[in-house]
Structure 1
Amino acid sequence: MRIGVTGGTGFIGKHLTRNFLRQNHKVCILTRKPDSYQSDHKNLEYIGWSVDSINELVDKLEGMDVFINLAGESINNGRWTEQQKERIIKTRIQVTDTLMKLFSELYDRPKLFINASAVGYYGTSLKQTFIENDLSTSGDFLAKTVQKWEKHASKAENLGIRTVYTRFGIVLDKQEGALPKMVLPYKLFVGGKVGTGKQWLSWIHIKDVVNLIDFIIHNGEFEGAVNFTTPFPLQMNEFGKTIGEVLSRPHYLPAPSFALKMMLGEMSTLVLDGQKVLPNKAQQLGFKFEFPTLRETLMDIYRIK
């Protein structure tokens, strides 16, 4: 199988690439800085690209079985100034629109297009539970960003390509993503409740991210939005307590909302607000989570028996 990836050198992209190579698939990673990467694997190729290089890419990308778009400015890179928010949106839309132009030029288009998305689509709530059929009525920054991103990616459907939007919750991994920052206070013996502690955290183990994407590739029934979250989301206080219990650290020192808002500004919504999101479609179509509970996830990540 030939698989193309944008954002393939990022957190999720690296895990996916390793998985695809283990399965002997051929992986083409599109990057703006191909000279920064060297492949010592016969099935891995780094291809330079930009918004102006569509014609040069057509021949190289003919006959892809799957294309996965993970590219976009991280939402965790500093305070959300107006300039940063514009960059978060612009990088996602530019890459996606360029891919749509590229796909339209291909004679043999990908059979499947997987576009990254996020549970931020639904907005925040303490009381609601969200599944894929729920429409967003939120006007906050993250919701509007994801809504716009999915709308631009939906052009692939008009080209006859099976299209999936991976609405990621918080992806947990030992080295990258949010977990190392969440665990650090506990390692320093100063962990505790964040904000009210009542906000919901919808999360997923990085291994289940890889497994579910693999499952989607081989199951043609998947189309549209797919929630990448565990069946057992937790409120933040319970999430923190579980970290403390698994790592044998206390959970006692609160981080008040006002302090986080002063420190992080609008970006504080990432830790002070949340949404309870369930993987309805994945479960209906037969996917089995390897790490459904937080305790199982943390024990695997930190090699605790």
Structure 2
Amino acid sequence: MKIAISGGTGFVGAALTDQFIKQNHHVYVLTRNPTGKPEKENVTYIEWMHDNGELPTLSGIDAFINLAGETINGRWTDEKKEKILSSRIHATREILKIIERMESKPKVLINASAIGYYGTSKSKTFDEHTSTSGDDFLAHVTAEWEKEAMKAEQNGVRVVRTRFGLILAKNEGALPRMTLPYKLYVGGPIGSGKQWYSWIHINDVVGMIDHALNDDSLEGAVNATSPHPVQMDDFGKILAKTLNRPHWLPLPAFVLQIGLGEMSTLILEGQKVVPRKALDHQYKFMYPTLSSALAAIFDN
């Protein structure tokens, strides 16, 4: 297969690229700066998002995976929030333009999204049948991003919207920051400790996207989360047990609110999300429970 990935040098994109290389697919990584990238067999770096509006020429692409967008990490100033939204919309529109120009269209567009689509709740359970999005900033961003991606259907392209949960890996994503207090023996519950963390191991993110590439019946929203979300206090206890560290020192909500501003809602609120569609389409999770996921991460 020939697979084009925007955001292919990032956390998820790099993991996908490595997996696709092992499967002998050819990966075309769309990047603003292709120079100086490490040479890999079956990987071609393609420059895109030119200031002059010039589009790259691609042909024979079987699938697009769109992961491009400004990181949500950091304080959400008005300027940062504008970049978070506009970068995602702009990148998706560029992909739509590329697809429009292609004589032979790709079979599928897998577009990143996030479980932030559902908004936050300590009591509700969300799955892909949840009909409405939340009313906060991230819910707005994901709803607009998904709406843009769905336009690929006008060119006969199957669209899968992968709503990522908290992605766990040893040296990437949020887990290293979550682990640090425990390594310093000061880990404990954050805020109320009752907020839900809908998490997923990075290998299952890769596996689920690979599954979506090959299952022609899978389309629309797909929650990329474990079937067993946990509340924050339980997450911390399992992490502490895995690291052989105590779970004892609470971090009050106001400390995060002062330090992170609006972004603190990601950590303090959360949502309970289950991957109903992945299970219905027979995806087999490698790490369905948090204890198995963390054991695998910290044994490596």
| TM class by smaller structure | over 0.9
How far the C-alpha of 1:187 sits from its partner, in A, is 0.4
Answer yes or no: is the 8 Å Cα contact 1:51–1:95 preserved in 2: no
Unaligned runs of 5+ in 1: none
| Contact residue 69 and residue 114 of structure 1 kept, 8 A | yes
- The corresponding residue for 1:145 is 141
1:156 aligns with 2:160: no
> Which one of the candidate residues 230, 236, 248 is aligned to 1:234?
230
Partner of 2:176: 180
Does residue 49 of the first structure (1) align with residue 48 of the second (2)?
yes
Deviating more after overlay: 7-16 vs 206-215: 206-215
Task: Give SS of 1:204's match.
Answer: strand
Structure 1 residue 7, shift from structure 2 partner: 0.1
Contact 1:51–1:98 (CA<8 Å) still a contact in 2?
no
Partner of 1:35: 35
The answer as to whether partners of 1:261 and 1:268 remain within 8 angstroms in 2 is yes
* TM superposition shift of 1:51: 4.8
Cα offsets for 1:129-155 (capped at 9, x unmatched): 001011234210000000000001110
CA RMSD of aligned residues (A): 1.2
Separation (CA, whole Å) in 1 of partners of 2:214 and 2:148 = 25
TM-score by length of 2: 0.98
How much does 1:73 deviate? Answer: 0.5
1:2/1:53 Cα in 2 relative to 1: closer, same or farther (>3 Å)?
A: farther
Which of 43, 63, 76 matches 2:60?
Answer: 63
2:215 equivalent in structure 1: 219
Once the two structures are superposed, residues 164-215 of structure 1 have per-residue CA deviations (whole angstroms, 9 ceiling, x without a partner) of: 0000000000010010001110000000010000000000000011111111
Q: Deviations over 1:87-146 (max 9, x none)?
A: 000100000011111111111111110000000000000111001011234210000000
> Is the 1:5–1:68 contact (alpha carbons within 8 Å) kept by the matching residues of 2?
yes
Deviations 1:243-294 (A, max 9, x none): 0111110000000011110111101011101000000000011011010001
**CA–CA distance in 2 between the matches of 1:83 and 1:54?**
23
Partner of 1:114: 110
Between the aligned partners of 2:133 and 2:56, the Cα distance in structure 1 is 38
Partner of 2:186: 190
Letter in 2 for 1:178: A
Does the 8 Å contact 1:136/1:143 carry over to 2? Answer: no
Which stretch shifts more, 43-52 or 91-100?
Answer: 43-52
Structure 2 equivalent of residue 263 of structure 1: 259
Q: 1:290 aligns with which of 276, 279, 286?
A: 286
1:300 aligns with 2:292: no
Residues in 1 aligned to 2:250 and 2:270: alpha-carbon distance in whole angstroms? 18
* 1:3 alignment partner, SS class: strand
Name the aligned partner's letter for residue 258 of structure 2. M
- Mapped to 1, the partners of 2:152 and 2:215 lie a distance apart of 18
What are the superposed Cα offsets for residues 32-55 of structure 1, whole Å, 9 maximum, x if unpaired? Answer: 0011313142x1110111255776
Aligned equivalents of 1:153 and 1:187: distance in 2?
A: 41
Residues 137 and 118 (structure 1 numbering): CA distance in 2 closer, same or farther, change over 3 Å? Answer: closer
5+ residue gaps in structure 2?
none
One-letter code aligned to 1:154:
M
Mark the CA change 1:80 to 1:56 in structure 2 (over 3 Å): closer, same or farther. Answer: closer
Q: Aligned AA for 1:44?
A: V
1:4 aligned partner, one-letter code: A
Change (3 A) 1:56 1:191: closer
The CA distance in 2 between the partners of 1:55 and 1:149, in whole Å, is: 22
**What's the counterpart of residue 75 of structure 1?**
72
Query: SS of 2:260's equivalent?
Result: helix
Following TM superposition, by how much is the alpha carbon of 1:63 offset from its aligned partner in structure 2, in angstroms?
1.5
What's the counterpart of residue 205 of structure 2?
209
